[in-house]
Amino acid sequence: MRPTAPLLVATALLAAGTLTACGGDSGSDSNTIKVSFKQSTDNQIKVMDTYLAAMKKQFEKANPGKKVELVPIKAPDSEYYTKLQQMLRSPRTAPDLVYEDTFLINSDITAGYLKPLDKYLDKWQDWGQFIDTAKSAAKAQDGKTYGVPDGTDTRGLWYDKAILAKAGIKTPWQPKSWAEVLDAARAIKEKVPDAVPLNVYTGKPNGEAATMQGFEMLLYGTGDGSADPLYETSTSKWIAGSKAFKDSLRFVETVFKEKLGPDVSDALDPNWATRVRGEFLPKGKLGINLDGSWLPQDWLKGSGHEWPEWSDKLGLAHMPTQNGQAPGKVSMSGGWTWAVPSKAANPDLAFDFIKTMQTKANAQRWYIANSGIAVRKDVAADPAYVKAQPGIKFFTDLVASTHYRPAYPAYPKVSTAIQEAMESVTTGDASVDKAASAYDEQLKTAADGKVVNKP
């Protein structure tokens, strides 16, 4: 999931009011589809806007008399999800096509907000090009598919070559355990005191970035990869009381207790992710960053944060498992989908627009533009895609060892509980044991008691 900078509340509310107004005539024109999507809160970064504007032009040219109305929602992640769900509740405000994060889609499916797409997918030849894991991210427990993925992502360690060299660490650098990551951060703290040694996103202000880029990149590296450490599929229950959970919290605690990370006030700044990408990495102020494959989109020409030298300045390493145990590396994957609301006025036309966006050529154009990882097999095999940008091959190769969140309806609440546990050890307000215990209690409520204790 790509994190974004938060917007001032007043601006967000103004945007929300505008969207409600423009959605008031939803469905009044059978030749027009309304497309809602998440617009970056960074005014300089308009990757999605640029791409959709091109798709709109292409679609309208190929379908005379048909129109596409783009309805951007400019807000940070949490506000986007809230606003989107408000819009989906009524035929008056529901758009015809929406951009859904895979972590939230099952909640919206359960709430009855989305339409199953199987009748369209069964007749769409290109659907066979999509990889199975990406398809499963938009499939509900009823076996039906409710979204078309537009790419995925993976995560790893970005590091500043010059900072590591000053700290006496040889590059290319590839740590084999959590201990080696922490030792490298300690060396940076000692020998390059003007740089932040290690960034791990944490706390509620960072939302799903804290859960997924931070905590789950640790948690899913505690075992051998054969079992989900967050959710037990055999019993359909969430896992509480685990040593793996506490070990992951302890890593976060260590980073901030030993001052190996940013100042706590920075780490809990809702703008922190934007500052990492736009300031700390480009200006050589951050040694190691646990983050996602999409970062280069912020540094491309026209982004407002152009940094053409990034591939020379930064190195990439996979995140190791806790003790270096097999498979040796860990990654998390998410991504976004295009979904049709159940109350959409023009669902057929909306799916036609999906098909326009998801031709091989257009999908490849999007993956490269937003530094995404291909979910179409034909694109992934295309040399032009592989060579399009430094780092694409590295992050695409991580798909083989990646994990997906158990994005069931309870997950958003589980994710919030994880963020609160992280924040309490980050600030020092709670010990690891106390934070883990508080999480277990919140988990019982979030999961309606469907919890299993696995020490």
Q: What is the CATH number of the domain that holds 212?
A: 3.40.190.10
pLDDT (average), residues 361-383? 91
Q: Both 439 and 420 in a single domain? A: yes
- Over residues 343-364, the pLDDT tens digits come to 999 999 999 999 999 999 999 9
pLDDT recorded at residue 46: 80
Q: Both 143 and 244 in a single domain? A: no
Q: Both 98 and 190 in a single domain? A: no
- Over residues 41-79, the pLDDT tens digits come to 665 468 899 999 999 999 999 999 999 999 999 887 768
Q: Both 190 and 328 in a single domain? A: yes
128, part of any domain: yes
4, part of any domain: no
Q: Both 432 and 315 in a single domain? A: yes
Q: Determine contact, residues 127/351, Cβ cutoff 8 Å.
A: no
Q: Tell me: pLDDT of 25 over 60.
A: no
341, part of any domain: yes
Q: Both 319 and 171 in a single domain? A: yes
Q: Tell me: pLDDT of 22 over 70.
A: no
Q: Is 314 helix (H, G, I), strand (E, B) or coil?
A: strand
Q: Both 234 and 169 in a single domain? A: yes
77, part of any domain: yes
Q: Both 122 and 188 in a single domain? A: no
379, part of any domain: yes
pLDDT recorded at residue 80: 87
Q: Both 172 and 262 in a single domain? A: yes
Q: Determine contact, residues 177/339, Cβ cutoff 8 Å.
A: no
Q: Both 110 and 180 in a single domain? A: no
Considering 404, 426, 445, which residue would you say is the last residue of a domain? 404
2, part of any domain: no
Q: Determine contact, residues 282/305, Cβ cutoff 8 Å.
A: yes
> In the structure encoding, which two tokens stand for residue 117, read together?
């797409």
For residue 342, the surrounding DSSP H or E stretch is none
Q: Both 90 and 169 in a single domain? A: no
Q: Tell me: pLDDT of 439 over 90.
A: yes
380, part of any domain: yes
Residue whose C-alpha is closest to residue 213's, from 329, 369, 296, 333: 333
Domain containing residue 57: 9-149+335-404
Q: Both 266 and 322 in a single domain? A: yes
Number of domains, the chain? 2
pLDDT recorded at residue 41: 67
Mean pLDDT, the chain, rounded, equals 90
pLDDT recorded at residue 2: 52
**28 confidence band (pLDDT: 50, 70, 90):** low
